[in-house]
Structure 1
Amino acid sequence: MNEDSQTAVIDGLGDRKMSRSNVDARMGGIEAAIAHYQENATPQLILLETASEGDEVLNELDRLAEVCDAGTNVLMMGEANDIALYRELIRRGVTEYLVGQIAPRQVLDAVTAIFEDPDAPPMGRSIAFMGSRGGSGSSSIAHNVAWHLGQEYGEEVSVIDLDVTFGTAALSFNLETQQTLEQALADPSRLDDQLLDRFLVEFDENVRLLASPSNLDAEESIMAGSLDSLLELVRRRSSFVVLDVPHRWAPWVQQVLLDADETVVVGVLDLSGLRDTKTLIDRLRKQRGPASPVHMVLNHHGAFKKTELSPKDFETATEVKPDAIIPHAPALFGTASNNGQMLGQVSGKHKSVDALIKLAQLVSGRQPQQKTKKGLLGQLGLKSRKKAKAI
């Protein structure tokens, strides 16, 4: 494998989708692979690069097959753009053959396609929010984005409050529940769709909440062993799963931020906010890979106009353009919090609400819905004479 191909493989398989996989890149091509696997067990997948063409490639592949364990997948990269060779490689069991200069995304897509179950039900999009420090307003932004996702797409959105000691989601949505995240994680083997339905509390026709116990005695150790199975179950029933992640750096928190389809870091515009936001984004960007960028949201813009840093300062330091800048609006946020409402329910035309709608559209991974205004006849379910004749 030459250096360019090795870089493409390492970058492609460094994506967050492969975070639970072990990747080992070696130089030397098929000959080196044959020598290595004569003495070692073969992995689930071997990626090979070859400069050979025609029958020479097939002969090398036959020799490799002699040292491979049953069930090993082979993905090949080469220079020969030959359809007959491609068909013969596929006939002999090669999973995929990539031609020419390979990009990291090609490698990632080819590898994930091998292990994806085509019959598995679609999974909901997971979106994780975390503040770069306490008090950044990350939870409030997460809850409001969840509500806007429901309003925008009319599909089920599940909010999971992962702060087992100081979670605020139940207060934000003005909900009371005896069934919390702690009970849901206590015995994950019992969890199924029916039981999960009891834990998820309805806020409106779209949004469901799995609240935290907000209990100082709650054992955070339960998160490490049980959270994966819970999140998988929720993602199988909800179109969007919004994760309100506490400001901690435990291993389970890192894994949540790494596994999420979208990760959003919320910062505030002061010097320590800049330092912490840059530290967090740099780490996550390296772990998640170029195919899964980290989103940056700056909150409380304008709170301290004379002393605060500018969004441009954050963009320069992090090399990430802010995806949303939320104006400081204490009256709006305070009213919504006290009433157990979302910002859009208090004032739908506020600049903060507009920024949150755009953020929800961004992290949804979908195109914005085209909403057309109905006239009076349309609201009554009637057609004008002119339109009726055209139909």
Structure 2
Amino acid sequence: MTDNSNDRPNDLAAKSLAVIAPLPRISIQAFCETQEIARLVEQATADRRMEKAHVKVQMGGGAAAAEAYRNAPTPNVVLIEGDAHRERLLETLDRLSQVCDNDTKVMVIGQVNDVLLYRELMRLGVSDYLVPPFGVVDLVRSLSEIFRAPGAEPVGRVVAFVGAKGGVGSSTIAHNVAWAMARQLKLDSVVVDLDLAFGTAGLNFNQDPPQGVAEVVFAPDRLDAAVVDRLLSKCAEQLNLLAAPATLDRVYDFHEDVFDPLLEIMRANVPCAVLDMPHVWTAWSKRALIAADEVVIVASPDLANLRNAKNLIDLLKAARPNDAAPRLILNQVGVPKRAEIKPGDFAKALDLEPAAVIAFDPGLFGAAANNGQMIAETAPSNKVNEVFTDLAKRVTGKAETRRSKRPAIFEPLMAVINRKKAG
């Protein structure tokens, strides 16, 4: 809260000299009540430190925000402008909480310079409470501190896609799910192609960047967020690629922790990083799988895939006892004249229900691959796009948290409101 009270240190001179860290690749949606605040937020988007953030400004305040997210995913940050009525603000936040994802952060611009209200909102988990007058720099600083403050949770998660066997379509599914994250869920996402020798992400996205993930591993001493940002190739709005060189002029034998710094940078700067894992078994590939926040195993319904998938699942469960089990996708189901294991029997043998079963459709997927496009581009009405969107929701946590329960940061709101009414 911007105020001149003694509630927290407010040394304006120190603030003016403090370095404001650039915001990561996040999405911010502001719902304003007044044109003055709307203009201020618009002005903030032009600040150099907001360059990576995607900002959308709308009118209508918290009520409009609650309505907007009934059937739409929430962004990384929701900024709402409230009025001077204390109870109405709390009720608005409660309505918003019912349609808000658990990992969405909320910032409130109020009209009352009230230290008690500020403390109350902080206890409830609201990220910050600003009161006019404040400037563009104050707003940018507040947004930056949400993600850069000591102890702040990482911005995003790392999702690894791996094939139980070569040729099962793991890369294709990884790329299409990443596309759904960016285009349907509006999450800034990066595809990291770790198949350095034979990676297909550049082909699938019709990109041929001169630099990519090879520069990360062959020059680790200069790796930082700025370097990674320069290596990214833009595939679409809110979707970038860290491409593999896909050349054989060198071998790609690395130490097991070679990608650790890259994954740390991704978690701190991107809502979702999709690792397109090669079908190899090395120290570094094993470590990357175990370190990922989510692992998706893609398999075709035959015996070799069943054996390999079981080995992967058993290893990951043992190495990650406190994490969720890997997700299983059965792909290329229904190949003519091929003897297959029925999806139900495949799942029963693994004691793991498939997150999706995708039918064999060489015409659809072949056309997209040859055009360097995603399925949503070549066949936007095809039902498989719904599968990719559902998978995107699952691996980003959107499917589990959305409206399944009121987010923890807002749980005390109704108690606060009820106490006020009872009083």
> TM-score of the superposition, structure 1-length normalised?
0.62
Unaligned runs of 5+ in 1: 1-116, 371-391
Residue from 334, 337, 351 that aligns with 1:302: 334
- Corresponding residue pairs, total: 254
CA distance in 2, matches of 1:298, 1:290: 25
Q: Quick check: 1:146 aligned with 2:178?
A: yes
CA distance in 2, matches of 1:348, 1:308: 29
Q: Which residue of 2 aligns with 1:161?
A: 193
Q: Structure 1: which 4+ aligned runs deviate by more than 6 Å?
A: none
Contact 1:152-1:369 at 8 Å conserved across structures: no
Contact 1:164-1:212 at 8 Å conserved across structures: yes
Residue from 223, 230, 254 that aligns with 2:286: 254
Residue from 162, 177, 184 that aligns with 2:216: 184
CA distance in 1, matches of 2:226, 2:308: 41
- 1:234 counterpart SS class: helix
Q: Deviations over 1:273-292 (max 9, x none)?
A: 22221222122122222532
Q: Quick check: 1:241 aligned with 2:280?
A: no
Which amino acid counterpart does residue 288 of structure 2 have in structure 1?
Answer: V
Q: Percent identity?
A: 40
Q: Quick check: 1:316 aligned with 2:357?
A: no
CA distance in 1, matches of 2:219, 2:226: 15
Spell out the pairing of 1:24-173 with structure 2 (5 A cutoff).
119-120=151-152, 122-173=154-205
Name which of structure 1's ranges 258-267 and 352-361 shifts more when overlaid on structure 2: 352-361
- 2:165 counterpart SS class: coil
Pick the structure with greater CA Rg: 1
Q: Which residue of 2 aligns with 1:363?
A: 395
Contact 2:390-2:399 at 8 Å conserved across structures: no
Q: Deviations over 1:347-391 (max 9, x none)?
A: 123232221111111101124899xxxxxxxxxxxxxxxxxxxxx
CA distance in 2, matches of 1:121, 1:269: 39
Contact 1:182-1:218 at 8 Å conserved across structures: no
Which amino acid counterpart does residue 196 of structure 1 have in structure 2?
Answer: V
Q: Deviations over 1:106-136 (max 9, x none)?
A: xxxxxxxxxxx95345231100000001001
CA distance in 1, matches of 2:290, 2:158: 11
Q: Which residue of 1 aligns with 2:311?
A: 279
Unaligned runs of 5+ in 2: 1-148, 403-423
Q: Deviations over 1:317-344 (max 9, x none)?
A: 1000011111111111011101111111
Cα 1:199–1:327 shift into 2, 3 Å: same
Contact 2:183-2:237 at 8 Å conserved across structures: no
CA distance in 2, matches of 1:241, 1:194: 16
Q: Deviations over 1:151-205 (max 9, x none)?
A: 1221210110001111110001000111121112212221222222210000011
Q: What RMSD over aligned residues (CA atoms) do the two structures have, in Å?
A: 2.0
Name which of structure 1's ranges 227-236 and 317-326 shifts more when overlaid on structure 2: 227-236
Contact 2:254-2:284 at 8 Å conserved across structures: no
Q: CA deviation at 1:305?
A: 6.0
Residue from 227, 235, 243 that aligns with 1:203: 235
Which amino acid counterpart does residue 221 of structure 2 have in structure 1?
Answer: S
Cα 1:200–1:167 shift into 2, 3 Å: same
- 2:296 counterpart SS class: strand
Contact 2:180-2:392 at 8 Å conserved across structures: yes
CA distance in 2, matches of 1:177, 1:223: 25
CA distance in 1, matches of 2:172, 2:241: 14
Q: Deviations over 1:23-64 (max 9, x none)?
A: xxxxxxxxxxxxxxxxxxxxxxxxxxxxxxxxxxxxxxxxxx
Name which of structure 1's ranges 230-239 and 330-339 shifts more when overlaid on structure 2: 230-239
Q: Quick check: 1:231 aligned with 2:263?
A: yes
Residue from 183, 196, 206 that aligns with 1:174: 206
- 2:332 counterpart SS class: strand
Q: Deviations over 1:217-270 (max 9, x none)?
A: 333234634311012112221110000001111111111111111000110011
Contact 2:257-2:287 at 8 Å conserved across structures: no
Contact 2:158-2:274 at 8 Å conserved across structures: yes
Contact 1:267-1:299 at 8 Å conserved across structures: yes
Q: Quick check: 1:349 aligned with 2:381?
A: yes
